[in-house]
Amino acid sequence: MSALPARRDEPASGFAAEAVRAQFPILATRMRGRPLVYLDSAASAQKPRAVIDALARFYEHDYANIHRGVYELSQRASALHEEARREVARFLGSRDPREIVFVRNATEGVNLVAYAFLEPRLEPGDEILVTEMEHHANIVPWQLVAGRRGARVVPVPITDEGELRVEDVAERIGPRTRMLAVTWVSNVLGTITPVHAIAELARRRGVPLLVDAAQAAPHLPIDVRSLGADFLVFSGHKTYGPSGVGVLWGRAELLEAMPPWQGGGDMIERVSFAGTTFNTIPFRFEAGTPDIAGIHALGVALRWLRGLGLEAVRAHEEALVGYALERLPRVPGLRVLGSPRARAAVVAFTIDGLHPQDVGTLLDLDGIAIRTGHHCAMPLHERLGLPASARASMGVYTTLGEIDALAASLERIVARFR
Ligand code: PLP
């Protein structure tokens, strides 16, 4: 048994976790006869009532296709759509809503930049720098365009602690480097990378930088103006919004200079068989009917998240991850992956003698949901010498008691099966 007292109801760092938690209907669910302990927010966050209601309300009162109808309902839906774009711009600190391109998810945002921005500039022998701890979404799109152009993707190594050092990035930027693509937060190690310093370096060396903010957006305040990157992507479903919607932010002048990447309705100015001209940004990159209600609800989710205060969210999650790092290593045989100085609310671990898959399955019997496997980061697991790991990831609704529940369940599993 742990020497630490069970603290299920105690909020972390004064953040009203229980009040926030009460806004998430799914968290009242019982799993296998026990309260659901949802520790898989890095895969996808649960949705607050405000977002669920916004979706239903939109379909009940405001739904029509956008940018097309002259009738009032379509105009209302279009106005709400563009309001969502302004909300995303506020969330990211962009002054210009034209810099916000709606996509399906972070993955599609990376693909858009890879095909529309980078591919036309790539020559055989060119290099795209990523890091060893990227999610596949920030590796494979670059490999695909590199393969079409005879270029290659080069990984920047991380330290044994799981950190990314600016000097290691600097060392690998060479005359053939055409793109740098770096995660802000590792979805496995939780490492918060020094993206501001990397952006400064990229600017100095004249290399375009894409920041993968899929795991940063739910946890850290973002201000693209002070960040100084060229592109940034994130997914709605990890930021308490719906699945199926995501965001690419790009500097207006770069987006302006990019050709379209998918053709269809809405992205054109004029179509004829003699030739087609294209719409202005961001519409040039938004072919076809988007997830209209989902984008509206994403705006609501981001407003809701901003309402909590991202500094307060960060403090809450720092307390959670600090507690997890103190409590989980008391489980016999448990080893936490990485020891970065700055870590978001993600803790991956292994337990000697137990396969992560079995750990996940056994935790599920206690109603505890964690992620097991390679977490779409196979090169990182290779670097760590592991085929797989288990990962607990937290969100605004997570309580210290849930970490206790996880640790206690792991202790029972270890006592019984190891
Ligand atoms: N980047 C990181 C760091 C992630 O953790 C994820 C998803 O887990 C992605 C990108 C891809 O997100 P999506 O599947 O929503 O496109």
Average pLDDT value for the chain: 95
Element (H, E) at 202: helix 195-205
Angstrom distance (rounded) from CA 318 to CA 134: 22
In a domain, 137, yes or no: yes
User: Domain count of the chain?
Assistant: 2
Mean pLDDT of 182-209: 98
Same domain, 247 and 320: no
User: Of 253, 287, 307, which marks where a domain is finished?
Assistant: 307
If one compares 8 and 140, the residue with the highest pLDDT of the two is 140
235 lines ligand 1 (CB under 6 A): yes
In a domain, 2, yes or no: no
In a domain, 272, yes or no: yes
pLDDT(256) > 90: yes
| 68 Cα distance to chain centroid | 32
52 lines ligand 1 (CB under 6 A): no
User: Of 307, 327, 342, which marks where a domain is finished?
Assistant: 307
Find the 214 Cα to ligand 1 centroid distance in Å. 5
Active site residue 376: yes
Same domain, 252 and 298: yes
Find the 138 Cα to ligand 1 centroid distance in Å. 8
Same domain, 22 and 65: no
In degrees to the nearest 10, what's the CA dihedral of 161, 166, 168, 172? 150
pLDDT(7) > 70: no
pLDDT(13) > 90: no
Same domain, 147 and 60: yes
Which of 238, 190, 137, 188 lies closest to 389, judged by CA?
188
pLDDT, residue 418, reads 82
Same domain, 316 and 247: no
Angstrom distance (rounded) from CA 257 to CA 407: 52
| Domain extent for 366 | 17-48+309-417
pLDDT, residue 40, reads 98
Query: Closest residue (by CA) to atom 8 of ligand 1?
Result: 43
pLDDT(131) > 90: yes
Instruction: Specify the pTM.
Output: 0.96
Angstrom distance (rounded) from CA 235 to CA 103: 9
Same domain, 361 and 241: no
Same domain, 247 and 276: yes
Query: Closest residue (by CA) to atom 14 of ligand 1?
Result: 107
Mean pLDDT of 303-324: 95
Q: Select which of 207, 376, 377, 394 is catalytic.
A: 376
In a domain, 405, yes or no: yes
Same domain, 84 and 198: yes
Same domain, 151 and 234: yes
pLDDT(8) > 50: no
pLDDT, residue 15, reads 63
Find the 261 Cα to ligand 1 centroid distance in Å. 21
List the CATH number of the domain containing 133. 3.40.640.10
In a domain, 7, yes or no: no
Q: What is the pLDDT of residues 89-107, one digit of tens each?
A: 999 999 999 999 999 999 9
b or e along 265-283 (b: 16 or more beta carbons within 10 Å of the residue's beta carbon)?
ebbbeeeeeeeeebbebbb
- Sign of the alpha-carbon torsion through 21, 221, 224, 96: positive
Find the 69 Cα to ligand 1 centroid distance in Å. 34
Are 59 and 242 in contact by the 8 Å Cβ rule? The answer is no
Mean pLDDT of 140-150: 98
- Sign of the alpha-carbon torsion through 182, 187, 188, 194: positive
User: Of 245, 280, 307, which marks where a domain is finished?
Assistant: 307
In a domain, 246, yes or no: yes
In a domain, 8, yes or no: no
Mutate to test the pocket of ligand 1, among 41, 102, 107 (most ligand atoms within 8 A of CB): 107
The three-state DSSP-derived secondary structure of 110-159 is HHHHHHHHHHHHCCCCCEEEEECCCCHHHCHHHHHHHHHHCCEEEEECCC
Are 75 and 248 in contact by the 8 Å Cβ rule? The answer is no
Same domain, 329 and 296: no
pLDDT(10) > 90: no
Same domain, 128 and 262: yes
212 lines ligand 1 (CB under 6 A): yes
Are 189 and 211 in contact by the 8 Å Cβ rule? The answer is no
Ligand 1 atom closest to residue 186's alpha carbon, by position in its atom list: 3
pLDDT(3) > 60: no
- At 67, the pLDDT band (50, 70, 90 cuts) reads confident
Angle (nearest 5°) at CA 138 between 137 and 141: 75
In a domain, 11, yes or no: no
